[in-house]
Amino acid sequence: MKNKTSLLLVLLIFLGSLGTTLNAQSEILKKLEEIAVVDQKVMMPMRDGVRLATDIYRPKTGGPVPIIFSRTPYNFNTWQNGKESTRTLETAYKMVEKGYAYVVQNERGRYFSEGEWDILGTPLTDGYDAFTWMKEQSWSNGKIGTLGCSSTAEWQMAVAALDHPSHAAMVPQGFGAGVGTVGKFQEQGNWYRGGAEQLLFFSWLYGVEHDKFKPRIPAGATQEDLIRISRFYDLGPENPPVDMLEALSHLPIQDILKNINGKKEIFDKMVTRKPNDPAWFEGGLYHDTMDFSVPSFWFASWYDVSISPNIALFNHVRENAKEAMIRDNQYLVIAPTLHCAYTRATEDTVVGERSVGDARLNYEEQIMAWFDLWLKDASNDFKEKTPRVQYYTMGSNTWQSSEEWPPKNAKMTSYYLSSGGNANSLNGDGVLSTKPPKSDMPDSFTYDPMNPVMSYGGNVCCTGNAVQGGAFDQQQMEQREDILVYTTAPLKEGVEVSGFIETKLFVSSDVKDTDFTIKLIDVYPDGRAYNLDETIQRVRYREGYDKEVFMEKGMVYEVNLTPMSTSNYFKEGHSIRIEISSSNFPRFARNLNTGGDNYNEKEGVIAHNKIHHSKKQASEIRLPIVKK
C-alpha cells in the first residue's frame, strides 16, 4: 500500500509539473496572439509553382506595416519532436511589438517547403519572388528588411544584387558561406581557403541534409492540414551522433559522408569542384563581379571561419557599388566571439581559454534603429550615433570605432623571419624582427600527411567535436618539430594590430604540391600563447585559382598566403609570434602532396619542406600597426 501511495504521489507531481511546463511553453504564444495575427504554414508560391512554407506574424492594426524577413534552411516550426518550440515565437513577439510583421520561411526542399534543396544552388529567384509576394499583401507597406545569421544570412548577398525595389535593408550576420569570390579570396561559400578544402561543410552536411526518401506532404495539402500535422511531424532528420574527428580522418575525403552513412548527393557534386569550377558561379553565391544594391548593417566575429572575406566584402561594397547611396550606407560590427555568438558575450567573455573582457554591445537596439531608418522612414539618429565600423580590440579589451577598415592610422609594417636554420618547435631559434636576415639559413621540416598538425582552437565553426573554436594556449602544440616558430623579443611598449595581415613566404619542397599554414599568436610574459587568426595556401594555386602550377624539386617559389585579420593589443612585455607548418587538420583537409586531385586519394607522400629567409628571399609577415 505504501508503495502504491508513493507511486501515485510521484505521478501527481509529474502531471503537475507537466501542466506547468505546458503552460509556460504556451505563454509566449498567448502573449503573441494578443498583439498579432498569427498565420502559420502559408504556402508562398514561386514562379515555377513550388510553394515555400512560411509563418507570418503581423500586428493587429488596420494599416500596412514593414516586414522583417528571415529565410532559413533550419527548422523554425512551432512544434518540434512533439514539443512546442518558443524561439521563433519570442522573436516574432519582439518584432510585432515594435510595429513590424515578422515573416520566416524555409528554403525550398526544407521541412514543409516543396521542391529540392541545394545548399549553394537555391535559385536567387526564390528570394526575389518572396519579396514580390510580400510587397503585394494588403498588410504590407512594401518595405522589407532581411535578417539572419549563418545559413539564414548567406542567401542575402546574391539576392541583394538583383535590386528588388522592396528589399530596403539587410542585416547579414556570420555570412561567409554566401561569399564566393571577393578580392583575394576565392572561398566558394567556405568550401575553400587558399585552394585547400575546409572541412566544416563535410560535417555540417551530415547533420542537416534531408534524405530524398523522407516523407513528403501531398500536393494540394491545405493550410489547416499543414498546421495540424506539423504538431506531430516536424520532418527533421535525427542522424545518429558520430565522432566527427574520426569521421573527418577518413580517406579519400570524397567518401567521408558515405563512410558514416550520410546523405551525399549534394556533397558528391561539391567535393569534386576545383576552386574555379564554373558551377560555383551558377548558384546562390555572391561574387564581386555582381553589383550590390541594398543598405546593409554587417556583423562579423574575430573567431568566425571567414572573418577576412567577410570584411573584404564590406570594403568591396563600400568601394564598388554603382550607387553612391548604397556605398555610403554600409556599416560593420566586428565582435570578439565565435560564429554567430554575438549576444552570448558577457561581462567576462571567454573565447576558448582566453578572457577578452566585457564584449557586450547593444546589438538589438542598433539593429532595430537600422530597420526603423529604412523600413519606417524614421527620423532617428542612427547615422549620427553609429560609427561606420565598430570593432573590438582584444588585449586592451575595448570597443573602438573607425570610419574605414583598416583604421586610417594603421600602417603596414614588415616583420621578417630569420633563424640559424633551426626554427623547429618552441625550443628552436626562430626570430621575428623588423630587420631582414643577411643570409639564407632555411628552416626545414617534414610534413607527413598521415601525422598532420592537429587543429587546436582557431577561427572555425560547424565541425562538431572535431575542432573547438577560439583562443587556446599553443605551447604544447609548439613542441612539434614540424611547426616552425618565429617570435619577436618582448615588446618594450604595447602595439595594436588592427587590419588585414599579409604573409609572403619563399618556399621549396621535394614534392610537386604541398600546403603552407600560418598562425598569428599573442605570447604572454608567462609563456601562454593565444592564437588570433590562421590561414593556409595550397602551393599549386600560388599563381591564381584558374590554373595549377606544380613545383620542381629544389626550386624556390614565392607564395602569398590569403590575408588574415584581427584587432589585438599586444601589451608591453608580450611578444608577437607566428607558427608555420603544412597542415592544420581537421580545420583544413590534408594535402597528400601527390599533385593529384586530393579528394579521391588515399595514400599520401611525405614532403620535406623549407622556408627561406634572406635579403633576396625575405619571407615576411606584414602587420597593420595602429599609430596613436
User: pLDDT tier at 264 (50, 70, 90 boundaries)?
Assistant: confident
pLDDT digits (tens, 9 = 90+) for 607-621: 999 999 998 999 999
Residue 246 has pLDDT above 60, yes or no: yes
Supply the pLDDT for residue 11.
37
Residue 13 has pLDDT above 80, yes or no: no
Beta bridge partners of 350: 355
pLDDT digits (tens, 9 = 90+) for 273-313: 999 999 999 889 999 999 999 999 999 999 999 999 999 99
Supply the pLDDT for residue 60.
95
Q: Is the dihedral of CA 552, 554, 555, 558 positive or negative?
A: positive
Residue 10 has pLDDT above 80, yes or no: no
What is the distance between the alpha carbons of residues 106 and 119, in angstroms, rounded to a whole number? 13
User: pTM for this one?
Assistant: 0.94
Supply the pLDDT for residue 448.
98
Q: Which residues contact 346 (CB under 8 A, 6 or more apart)?
A: 358, 359, 360
Supply the pLDDT for residue 194.
98
35 exposure class (CB count in 10 Å sphere: 0-12, 13-18, 19+): middle
What is the distance between the alpha carbons of residues 180 and 191, in angstroms, rounded to a whole number? 9
Residue 20 has pLDDT above 70, yes or no: no
The single-letter DSSP state of residue 473 is: B
Give the residue among 488, 470, 440 at the shortest CA–CA distance from 619.
440
What is the distance between the alpha carbons of residues 238 and 201, in angstroms, rounded to a whole number? 18
C-alpha cell at 266: 549534394
Residue 4 has pLDDT above 80, yes or no: no
How far is CA 180 from each of CA 277, 300, 306, 592, rounded to the nearest angstrom?
A: 11, 17, 11, 25
What is the distance between the alpha carbons of residues 343 and 367, in angstroms, rounded to a whole number? 12
Mean pLDDT of the chain: 93
Supply the pLDDT for residue 18.
41
Percentage of the chain beyond pLDDT 70 is 95
pLDDT digits (tens, 9 = 90+) for 329-348: 999 999 999 999 999 999 99
Residue 24 has pLDDT above 60, yes or no: no
pLDDT digits (tens, 9 = 90+) for 152-167: 999 999 999 999 999 9
Are 40 and 227 spatial neighbours (Cβ–Cβ below 8 Å)?
yes
67-71, 263-267, 570-574: range with lowest mean pLDDT? 263-267
Supply the pLDDT for residue 219.
78
Residue whose C-alpha cell is 608567462: 526
Give 303-353 as a 3 state SS string. CCCCHHHHHHHHHHHHHHCCCHHHHCCEEEEEECCCCCCHHHCCCCCEEEC
User: pLDDT tier at 150 (50, 70, 90 boundaries)?
Assistant: very high
Q: Which residue has the higher pLDDT, 12 or 218?
A: 218
User: pLDDT tier at 80 (50, 70, 90 boundaries)?
Assistant: confident
Are 90 and 54 spatial neighbours (Cβ–Cβ below 8 Å)?
no
b (16+ CB within 10 A) / e for 500-537: bbbbbbbbbbbbbbbbbbbbbbbbeeeebbbbbbbbbb
User: pLDDT tier at 17 (50, 70, 90 boundaries)?
Assistant: very low
Within a 10 A sphere around the Cβ of 430, how many other Cβ atoms?
26
Residue 588 has pLDDT above 90, yes or no: yes
Q: Which residue has the higher pLDDT, 426 or 14?
A: 426
What end-to-end distance do the CA atoms of the chain give, in Å? 81
Q: Which residues contact 491 (CB under 8 A, 6 or more apart)?
A: 570, 571, 572, 573, 574, 575, 576
Supply the pLDDT for residue 208.
86
Q: How much is the average pLDDT of 522-527?
A: 98
What is the distance between the alpha carbons of residues 384 and 182, in angstroms, rounded to a whole number? 30
Supply the pLDDT for residue 311.
98
User: pLDDT tier at 122 (50, 70, 90 boundaries)?
Assistant: low
Q: Of the ranges 82-96, 103-117, 331-345, which is most confident? A: 331-345
User: pLDDT tier at 120 (50, 70, 90 boundaries)?
Assistant: low
What is the distance between the alpha carbons of residues 282 and 477, in angstroms, rounded to a whole number? 41
Supply the pLDDT for residue 83.
83
